[in-house]
Amino acid sequence: MPGPAWIDDATAAFERHVAAERGLSPHTVRGYVSDVRSLLEHADQCGAAGPGELSTPVLRSWLAVQHSAGASRATLARRRAAARSFTAFAHQRGWLASDPGTGLGTPKVHRALPHVLRPAEIADVLASSEADIAQPPPGRTPAEAAVALRDSAVLELLYATGIRVSELCGLDRGALNLGRRTVRVFGKGGKERTVPVGIPAVRAVSLWEQSGRPVIATAASGQALFLGVRGGRMDPRTARRVVHERLRAAGVRVGTGPHGLRHTAATHLLEGGADLRSVQEILGHSSLATTQIYTHVSVERLKASYRQAHPRA
């Protein structure tokens, strides 16, 4: 049974706001809109007749229901953020006389240290991918050979740059500057940044563009740099599957995906002597605090090495 029309109207207006005016990613927009619809449906069950009847107690009772249902701390934090975004929007639109979302606060979310691959592990992964190209199995078709080139380029570029999987899939031809060895990336909120790229990644991407991409490109490919097997722009799900399969083939921890390669790149940069501000810019973090988690990773790895090597650890 469909809910009240005011829920649909308010949700649609909020979706237009976060998608167009705030420039959030499609994934974040979907999450926020889903959370706000859930909030408004809860408010309706509490007797609200419109968004103007939202109150801090209603917001808190909705979050309490989410907590009782087993939502993680990270999920609750996102839903709290979505609720605060909506009430600020509703107040701005004149639906609310005051903003009840300010009463929710912004508690700190516990952030688990990300798993990172050791230099030897990522070297094994990349070497395995290169060997798959150099010594292909018998009967490999031209399309399969092209996909192998693509997968190698994806792995090399993710590790070389630490870009997000969504950023990688959004790359167009020409984004990689071969002369300067940089790649132009559009991150969260449509923010553009330029990221350095190592020689092996440049070589792998160039080989894919020259010898792999033309094999599976179609009229629908447009300017997309990385393509799926049917010729369309590669989507993040395919990129994640590629990473998991290549890690598995190299005998490396399967739980590490594209975001794990991002963590790995950042950690290896810091361990190699890069300063935190430079890593922040490479990763496209708006806040230095987000980048600082990688210093904790490096410290934990240092402590583990100390405990293993020092006789009186």
Q: Which residues are catalytic?
A: 164, 188, 259, 262, 285, 294
DSSP conformation letters of 78-137: HHHHHHHHHHHHHHHHTS-SS-GGGGS--PPPP-PPPP---HHHHHHHHHHHHHHHHSPP
71: left (phi over 0), alpha (psi -120 to 50) or beta: beta
Of 117, 111, 98, 14, whose CA–CA distance to 56 is shortest? 98
The Cα 168–Cα 226 span in angstroms is: 8
Beta strand spans in the chain (E): 176-177, 182-186, 192-196
The Cα 90–Cα 69 span in angstroms is: 27
The 10 Å CB-count burial string (b at 16+, else e) for 192-231 is ebebebeeebbebbebbbeebbebbeeeebeebbbbbeeb
